[in-house]
Amino acid sequence: MTNRRDFIRITAYGAGAFAMSGGFLQAVKAFSSPEKSGALKVDLTRTPTYCEICFWKCAGWVYKSEDGKIWKIIGNDEDQHCNGRFCPRGTGGIGMYADEDRLKTPLIRTGERGKQVFREAGWDEALEYIASRMKTIKANHGAESLALFTHGSGSSYFTPLLKAFGSENIAEPSYAQCRGPRDDAFLWTFGEEVYSPEITDIRDTKCLVLIGSHIGENMHNGQVQEMSDAIDKGATIITVDPRFSTAAGKSKYWLPIKPSTDIALLLSWIHEIIYNEYYDKKYVERYCLGFEQLREHVKTFTPEWAYGITTLAPDLIRKTAREMADASPAVIVHPGRHVTWYGDDTQRTRAIAILNALLGSWGRRGGFYRPVRITLPSHPMPEFPVPGKTWTDLFPGQYGAATGVVSNAMIDASIPGNNPGYPIKGWIVNGTNLINTIPNQANTLNAIQNLDLLVAIDTMPAEITGWADVVLPECTYLERYDTLRTGPHRKPAIALRMPATEPLYDSKPGYWIARELSKKLGLENYFPYEKQEEILDWQLKQIGSSLDEMKKTGVKTFEREADDLYYAPDEEVAFATDSGKIELYSAAFEGLGFDPLPKYTPHEEPPDGFYRLIYGRAPMHTFGRTANNAYLTDLMDENTVWINPKIAKIWDLANDQYIWLQNQDGVTSEFPIKVRITERIRWDSVYMVHGFGHAQKQMKRCYGRGASDTQLITRALVDPLMGGTGMRGNFVTIVTEKAEKEVAS
């Protein structure tokens, strides 16, 4: 196609064409069920679930055909996360269950690490093997030398197992590789994080500001739905992105910012809002601390100052600041979700938090609502042993503002040459493909080579399972019970996941795996129930429901105890910060040796002939975990590299041509990637969707399709505040012919 017009037919026929801290959330104690039991009919053809394809956890129904096979998955109308509408990944969830490439039986490594030579084993033998290695690690190094990396529902079982064993080294890469900086920034500013699903009141907003956040391409269901509602109601959308994202296409203003300069834009917006007196004076006076210091700090950060840095016209900065002010307090400067970009990410999201505070949007309609959740009683359990050491002893003094466990610190501590305070010698990895999750793959592989034990528990083979000593096949979410979903939302609610069908192959639920392993370790008193449904029923009965009732409804929503979705006018609010106020100026950061107010620092720019590598999401895929799903691969089976027409001309590239990318450290993408020439990207950057270019041959549909951004992200810009790995400081150049195909390791 011509440069001026992109035309893409995305799908064509035939061709494959947590725990909450502080007192700010009320546990709901008195319950009133909207529907009395007995009046409900059981539909035998459907069973309730909540989705595990991403972290949004939408509740739905699994329908079966007359032949007993799973037919379709449809959203539950009563569910606040999805309002009866699943996203493409959830709708295509059957593909995860039906994937013939699934892990089928426990495997024990017999060859060299990473060569993928395994033998099939029974569960008893595999668990015995793991338990014996765990005991050896404990005897030689202490229980703390065993680490857990986890994502998703399995965390509920492997976390207590590890704690019972004596280790609190439990990390979710969703912290230091994703949303950690944002959560910390909001915690340190408002005393509260933004949760998941985020508490953004998009449905009632008048102005939504997205900074590198591509709602609609990240298919965070409730947010996408509410953005659509906001469009219907005429809300103004402002999108800041070096790429003309789908959301930019829906925006009144697109600010095609020069990458890595967002803090300069934010500071100049803050300048505009303060010096034009656009800010919510009553709100700031009542709730905020440090306004005068902030005012002084941003004095010189005019739109003209920002223009030279961001390449955004001063007039555009002024107009958009005014739009936010006009909408205030029904305005959301979105905190984003995947925010580990440049290593100053906590400070950038702090600037976002500060901007929201000035606009008075926190706790206000159309801004950020006040979430509630149900706290379910836990069955009485023995106390966990208190470990002698935690992750903060690995590299003392680092990452002082971190409120989560830093996964990359545990990986670094697995490499003896890094001289950690004590070594990490074993990893249990559940539901996260660390090789493609953590930047600098060589470092991760080095760490793995130094381990005494690596266990991978997953439903699908992935790069990480290829490196494991023992692989355990977990059954999919459609074949198991899991803990009740109790996440925060506008109304307190619970959702049930139950098996729609028996597990395929010799796969087992995470609960069963953790319990059986606990028996081998003599820790079975931490898993008193043989079956998970017994716990669920017990918990539900404590709150006046039952497993039987939940099987009929799937979701149970309760009313809030009070009409407190937003702060009442002039309400006295005690924020869970040190001062009890919203801390515009962070004395806590100052005490930890960090900047008390966000500063703009220039970042390295791409050298001549190189382009900044930016990555993002496609609505039909979740990270790499859906890459082999037949339904979703049918929609998108490889990623493309977006290149501006000017750059394409320089390199003489054509659309759909396959090229390789080579980064600043000389690493070349293992697989070629298709060129997409488009006006939708700046000339100083290239873009690709994350989660492709899989090197795991056992995933037959996605092996070698597209390029892996993670492979090219050899440089991590680590956030000194909380250890987040900034991944947008990598530069790539174009290679049109690859001399020799490297042998995949």
Near another protein by CB under 8 A, which window of 421-429, 548-556, 652-660, 677-685? 677-685
636 burial class (0-12, 13-18, 19+ CB within 10 angstroms)?
Answer: buried
Q: Which is nearer to another protein, 677 or 727 (CB)?
A: 677
* 631 within 8 A of 92, measured Cβ to Cβ: yes
User: Contact with another protein (CB under 8 A): which of 260, 437, 644, 733?
Assistant: 644
431 burial class (0-12, 13-18, 19+ CB within 10 angstroms)?
Answer: buried
User: Contact with another protein (CB under 8 A): which of 679, 698, 703, 714?
Assistant: 679
* 480 within 8 A of 127, measured Cβ to Cβ: no
| CA gap 743, 745 in Å, rounded | 6
Q: What minimum distance in Å lies between the beta carbon of 647 and another protein?
A: 11
User: Contact with another protein (CB under 8 A): which of 108, 445, 592, 630?
Assistant: 630
Q: Residue 66, interface with another protein (CB under 8 A)?
A: no
Q: Which is nearer to another protein, 80 or 408 (CB)?
A: 80
Q: Which is nearer to another protein, 9 or 36 (CB)?
A: 9
Cis peptide before 569 (omega within 30 of 0): no
User: Contact with another protein (CB under 8 A): which of 31, 71, 422, 526?
Assistant: 71
Q: Residue 235, interface with another protein (CB under 8 A)?
A: no
| CA gap 411, 406 in Å, rounded | 9
> Tokens for 432?
């996260």
Q: What minimum distance in Å lies between the beta carbon of 169 and another protein?
A: 37
Q: Residue 197, interface with another protein (CB under 8 A)?
A: no
User: What is the b/e burial string over 26-48, where b = at least 16 CB atoms within 10 angstroms of the residue's CB?
Assistant: eebeeeeeeeeeeeeeeeeebbb
Q: What minimum distance in Å lies between the beta carbon of 214 and another protein?
A: 10
For residue 65, the number of C-alpha atoms closer than 13 Å in the C-beta half-sphere is 6
Site residues for another protein, 311-370, by CB under 8 A, read none
* 342 within 8 A of 260, measured Cβ to Cβ: yes
Q: Minimal CA–CA distance to 591: which of 573, 579, 581, 574?
A: 579
Q: Residue 250, interface with another protein (CB under 8 A)?
A: yes
User: Contact with another protein (CB under 8 A): which of 61, 118, 254, 623?
Assistant: 254
User: Contact with another protein (CB under 8 A): which of 51, 148, 178, 224?
Assistant: 224
Please state whether 587 falls in left (phi above 0), alpha (psi between -120 and 50) or beta. alpha
Return the ∠ at Cα 558 (arms to 79 and 222), rounded to 5°: 30
As a whole number of Å, the end-to-end CA separation of the chain is 38
For the beta sheet containing 59-64, the strands, ordered from the edge strand earlier in sequence to the opposite edge, are: 46-50, 59-64, 70-75
DSSP strand pairing (107-109 vs 118-120): antiparallel
Q: Minimal CA–CA distance to 336: which of 247, 250, 204?
A: 247
Near another protein by CB under 8 A, which window of 346-354, 521-529, 534-542, 627-635? 627-635
From residue 3 to residue 42, what is the string marking binding to another protein with x (rule CB under 8 A)? Answer: xxxxxxxxxxxx-xx-------------------------
Return the ∠ at Cα 574 (arms to 572 and 576), rounded to 5°: 160
Q: Residue 676, interface with another protein (CB under 8 A)?
A: no
User: Contact with another protein (CB under 8 A): which of 118, 175, 244, 368?
Assistant: 244
* 199 within 8 A of 370, measured Cβ to Cβ: yes
Q: Which is nearer to another protein, 242 or 404 (CB)?
A: 242
| CA gap 216, 214 in Å, rounded | 6
User: Contact with another protein (CB under 8 A): which of 116, 407, 678, 685?
Assistant: 678
Q: Residue 650, interface with another protein (CB under 8 A)?
A: no
Q: Which is nearer to another protein, 94 or 324 (CB)?
A: 94
Q: Which is nearer to another protein, 75 or 606 (CB)?
A: 75
| CA gap 480, 502 in Å, rounded | 8
Q: Which is nearer to another protein, 248 or 413 (CB)?
A: 248
* 647 within 8 A of 685, measured Cβ to Cβ: no
Q: Residue 68, interface with another protein (CB under 8 A)?
A: no
Q: Which is nearer to another protein, 9 or 29 (CB)?
A: 9
User: Contact with another protein (CB under 8 A): which of 34, 111, 122, 249?
Assistant: 249
Q: What is the DSSP string of 81-136?
A: TTTT---HHHHTTHHHHS-TTS--S-EEE-SSTTS--EEE--HHHHHHHHHHHHHH
Q: What is the DSSP string of 193-234?
A: --TTTT-B-GGG-SEEEEES--BTTB--HHHHHHHHHHHHTT
Q: Residue 397, interface with another protein (CB under 8 A)?
A: no
User: Contact with another protein (CB under 8 A): which of 40, 117, 231, 650?
Assistant: 231
Q: Residue 259, interface with another protein (CB under 8 A)?
A: no
Number of residues located near another protein, criterion CB under 8 A: 62
User: Contact with another protein (CB under 8 A): which of 273, 620, 688, 712?
Assistant: 620
3-class state of residue 239 by DSSP = strand
Q: What minimum distance in Å lies between the beta carbon of 338 and another protein?
A: 18
Site residues for another protein, 125-154, by CB under 8 A, read none
Q: What minimum distance in Å lies between the beta carbon of 398 and another protein?
A: 40
Q: Residue 373, interface with another protein (CB under 8 A)?
A: no
* 619 within 8 A of 632, measured Cβ to Cβ: no
Near another protein by CB under 8 A, which window of 19-27, 155-163, 203-211, 239-247? 239-247
User: Contact with another protein (CB under 8 A): which of 54, 73, 187, 284?
Assistant: 73
Give me the residues that bind another protein (CB under 8 A), please.
3-14, 16-17, 71-75, 82, 84-88, 91-92, 94, 216-217, 219, 221, 224-225, 227-229, 231-232, 244, 246-250, 254, 256, 619-620, 630-632, 634-636, 644, 678-683
